[in-house]
Amino acid sequence: MDIRPIHDDADYRAALKEISVLMESDPDPHTSDGDRLDVMTTLVQAYEGRHFPIDPPDPVEAIKFRMEQSGLSVKDLEPMIGRKNRVYEILSRKRPLTLAMIRRLHQQLGIPAEVLIGQ
């Protein structure tokens, strides 16, 4: 198995092409091709993590996304954030989330605490 690190864009494109070919053949795990696919995807993920980092979402946008995703209204957030006016203050960025709000939103909506803590 001749596998090399991904150093530049050409290596990256070649690795993606090889992964595509391997995916089409749908190799069984623990076979030579299956192991090669596993190692190649790991290398590509590492390269992408270094060269194409994805910033964590904004806390308010994460809350709005979860509201939309789950069909929640402002009223549904009141047990986690407080009265209606407090929810609107949070959603309009006029007031920051408190630690207690972050904990409740994390526990009840499953939004990662790291996202809610934000920058």
Span 76-89, average pLDDT: 96
DSSP class of 8: S
Same domain as 66, residue 42: no
> What would the pLDDT profile of 53-71 be if each residue is shown by its tens digit?
988 889 999 999 999 999 9
Return the half-sphere exposure (C-beta side, CA atoms, 13 A cut-off) of residue 114: 3
pTM of the entire predicted model: 0.62
Dihedrals phi, psi of 52, to nearest 5 degrees: -135, 60
Do 45 and 88 sit in the same domain of this protein? no
Domain that holds residue 97: 59-117
**22 shares its domain with 68:** no
Which tens digits make up the pLDDT trace of 88-108?
999 999 999 999 999 999 999
Number of domains in the chain: 2
Neighbouring residues of 81: CB distance < 8 A, sequence distance ≥ 6: 87, 90, 97, 101, 104, 105
In a domain, 1, yes or no: no
In a domain, 104, yes or no: yes
Residue 86 lies in a domain: yes
Are residues 113 and 66 located together in one domain of the fold? yes
Lowest mean pLDDT segment, chosen from 13-17, 43-47, 68-72, 114-118: 114-118
Tell whether 75 is covered by a domain.
Answer: yes
